[in-house]
Structure 1
Amino acid sequence: MTTFHAVVWLDHQQAKVLQFDAEHVQAEKIKSHSHHTKQHASAVRTEHEFFGEVVDALTGIVEVLVVGSSTAQSDFKHYVEKHRPQAAKAIVGYETVDHPTENQLIAFARKYFVKHDRMAGVPTPT
């Protein structure tokens, strides 16, 4: 499915990636892998692997909205800007939200992108 927009809801344990167009929604869930080791910095490495999988799921998406807890967004934003700067260009916004259903998330993202695209002078694809 070729889509123009995606919304990602994430916390530090999982992410929901919803790619959508006017009629279709494609959902993907990504879970963080926990490595129970005493090795120094294994938690950071695990988080980077998780965030890397999320970014990989966004390949080819033109505009991405990232939502979720403020700390998860901040950590994800830092990771993307430092390690995946090409992907950072597609992320058009970060919004703090609680735990919406997929339908609520899509409705929120559609409303966000209509406003964002209008402000940027870009017609929203249908």
Structure 2
Amino acid sequence: MASSSPSALLSIADIARLYGLAQTTVRTYNGQAAQRRRAGTSRRHDFPAPTSRIGNSPLFDAEQVQVWFDHRPGRGVGGGRPPKVRDTISGSDTPPEEAASCDPEPPRAPAQASR
């Protein structure tokens, strides 16, 4: 038999505390997801819609928030500019794709001292 107990409800403050996020971050996630839902352009793992309210404060289903958090992309997902590779010999910064294609300089002959 299925459980008849209602799922726990979480406020924005609860979500921030449980998942180590700032409250403003949770509000932003909720606001952006709400805008996309209104525009009909919601994404696969958008922040869940509120299931209830207390006054003007939204409350979210704890299970839906957990699923959202588990499938949320981590930091750095989506690429971005590659980090520079520090050349320890010359001290210059070179992007990794250029560093791989550069031919090393041939060794130089030692300079002869003039007398």
TM-score (norm 1): 0.23
Higher relative contact order (CA 8 A, sep 6+): 1
Higher share in strand: 1
Pair member with larger Rg: 2
Higher share in helix: 1
TM-score (norm 2): 0.24
